[in-house]
A and B are shown apart, each in its own frame.
Chain A
């Protein structure tokens, strides 16, 4: 992974400047800059981008394991002679649905008050959690 260090020395730069430098960078490069922000006076902060990535990844991955989409992919690739074509089709569909999801969420965040959005998002995640529990009971 190519890592470009910000031009501003980490020790002397105000955090605001670092954050500005951070915004112009693509994500894989931005992570090392974000890690430098752990050393706040509070000293208890994880890199935000990494934290979001990990929590999204782990929850969605576990929820999707054994879900109907994965079973569909499994059956289609078992039936066909070319499993990687099935993966290409399924994979692009999954990337597209998650892109649409994030864009829709972002659009909603420009329409709703922050607190309303938080409550709505919290309730949605609670619903997802309940749906998963329902799946467990049904299976």
Chain B
């Protein structure tokens, strides 16, 4: 085990990711969601998968990705999530709507 390389990659990625847009998104999703555990699992899995793809691409096993298209879709996704939060519908069944109308028990795994 190459501990030096392990530490180097950990510190590099940790520092570049701290305060980056995906962490900002994670803070926003984790704070406004009823199931922060699902947000954590979702974001962690996504980041791990992206990093696996990075490793595979580094080994020459993957092709270049259509980055612009993919980022456009991501931007649209975040815009939709954002609009849901800013203009929640009164009887919305959406998760990112804090106003549960009382006709549905919340699946709330938040530790109080």
| Residues of A near any B CB (own CB < 8 A) | 15-16, 18-19, 22-23, 27, 30, 34, 37, 40-42, 44-78, 80, 82-106, 108-109, 114-115, 117-133, 135-136, 139
Report if A136-B95 is in contact (Cβ < 8 Å); known contacts: A94-B48, A98-B43, A122-B83. Answer: no
Partner of A132, one of B12, B71, B88: B71
User: Contact at B75–A129, with CB atoms within 8 Å?
Assistant: yes
Asked if A85 and B42 make an inter-chain contact with CB atoms under 8 angstroms apart, the answer reads: no
The answer on a CB contact under 8 Å between A85 and B43 is no
13 contacts between A and B (CB under 8 A): A23-B107, A27-B37, A48-B107, A62-B74, A67-B22, A83-B55, A85-B9, A89-B10, A99-B44, A106-B36, A118-B88, A120-B28, A125-B29
Given that A85-B5, A102-B43 are known contacts, is A133 also in contact with B75, CB under 8 Å in the complex? yes
The main secondary structure of chain B at its interface with chain A is: helix
* Chain B 13-44 interface mask (CB, 8 Å, partner A; 1/0): 11011101111111111111111111111111
Residues on B with beta carbons closer than 8 Å to the beta carbon of A132:
21, 71-72, 74-75, 78
